[in-house]
């Protein structure tokens, strides 16, 4: 196929490597399978995290921002993401991301204005979910990053999202951190 026919907006568009991007997942289980397939045979952390943000955002169009904050010397630093320019550094215990990392648990925030200390990178954000990523995908592993999803809608995420993202966080934790 000619290079000029590639339309990166189409999920089935051929990738530069010759692979075909998978169709958008229709369930969290499919999303997990898709991510596992993307990670299979690729050890580059940044590439895998970048593709993960694209897959997750395509699956959750209500998410205005999908990205990672990666643990660096005791603070969270912005990693691969999809969405608007965001805050770069978040201290442990600060904001939703820093609280999730410090408390080692997923936080579902239906209304960010009701979360004390929420960090507003985008004034339009109304709700958020943050999932910690543990090294090796093990619940007792160090927190290596958090996965942060924001939405312009109130209560865009709930426990079903937390449950669906848990195995995905385990897959992410097994990457080469
Ligand atoms: N709202 C987050 C900050 C990151 S941005 O949403 C991308 C927080 O309170 O930690």
Residue ranges covered by each domain of the chain: 3-173
Report which ligand 1 atom has the smallest distance to the Cα of 119.
Answer: 9
pTM for this prediction = 0.90
Calculate the dihedral angle through the C-alpha atoms of 137, 142, 145, 149, rounding to the nearest 10 degrees.
60
Local structure of residue 46 (DSSP, 8 states): H
pLDDT digits (tens, 9 = 90+) for 98-151: 999 999 999 999 999 999 999 999 999 999 999 999 999 999 999 999 999 999
> Which one has a higher pLDDT value, 13 or 171?
171
CA of 121 to the centre of ligand 1 (A): 6
* Tally of CB atoms within 10 A around 36: 13
Ligand 1 surroundings by CB, under 6 angstroms: 65, 86-87, 90, 95-98, 118-119, 121, 125, 128, 148, 150
CATH 3.40.190.170 for domain 3-173, yes or no, is no
């Amino acid at each position: 196929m000619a290079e000029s026919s590639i339309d990166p907006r189409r999920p089935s568009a051929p990738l530069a490597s010759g692979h075909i991007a998978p169709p958008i997942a229709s369930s969290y289980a499919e999303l997990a399978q898709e991510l596992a397939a993307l990670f299979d045979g690729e050890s580059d952390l940044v590439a895998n995290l970048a593709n993960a943000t694209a897959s997750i955002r395509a699956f959750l169009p209500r998410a205005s921002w999908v990205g990672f904050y990666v643990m660096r010397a005791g603070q969270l630093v912005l990693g691969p993401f999809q969405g608007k320019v965001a805050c770069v550094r978040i201290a442990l215990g600060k904001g939703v991301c820093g609280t999730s990392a410090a408390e080692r648990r997923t936080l579902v925030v239906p209304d960010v204005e009701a979360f004390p200390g929420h960090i507003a990178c985008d004034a339009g954000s109304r709700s958020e979910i943050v999932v910690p990523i543990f090294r090796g995908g093990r619940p007792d592993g160090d927190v290596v990053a958090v996965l942060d999803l924001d939405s312009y809608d109130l209560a865009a995420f709930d426990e079903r999202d937390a449950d669906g993202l848990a195995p995905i966080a385990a897959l992410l934790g097994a990457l080469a951190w």
